Amino acid sequence: MSGPVVFALRLLLTVSLYAFLVWAFITLWRDIKLQSALLSGRKIPPISLSFTDDSQTPQVRRFIQAEVTIGRDPACECPIEDDSISGRHTRLSYHHNQWWLEDLDSTNGTLINEEKLATPTVVVSGDEFRCGKTLFTITLPGDTLMALAKKSSARGKND
């Protein structure tokens, strides 16, 4: 082969290699931008907890973070003044597009809908859970129809 032909082939191979690298980086950049847009678009639905404290004052607290710890410890997101509640009693966490309730090995345990909570459990609007002497009611946006259906079926059982 002659020198100019080899040079042209080497130049063509070099240009092809750089074109491939530019194409690969552009494809990766677009994919990263798409993934970040998808992740930033995910919103954690707020959760509201209704309960009555020691002073018999009804309270409603609304949370927008992915994890809510309930207990006597002031560092908890929802500190409760109740001697029958552990320092870090229970946790509500949002993952897999659902809110979950989990007991944190508390001394007196956690009851959900009057049943002992043994494993992390999915919660919906209208669910009630008890930590010590304090009864909490969960309210989630968009679950109001499920809560109404649950209450009406509970009334039907009591009649």
CA proximity to 112, closest of 99, 91, 88, 128: 128
Answer yes or no: is pLDDT of 111 > 80. Answer: yes
- Span 10-58, pLDDT tens digits: 999 999 999 999 999 999 999 998 888 777 766 888 999 999 866 778 8
End-to-end CA distance of the chain: 98
pTM for the whole thing?
Answer: 0.65
Answer yes or no: is pLDDT of 8 > 60. Answer: yes
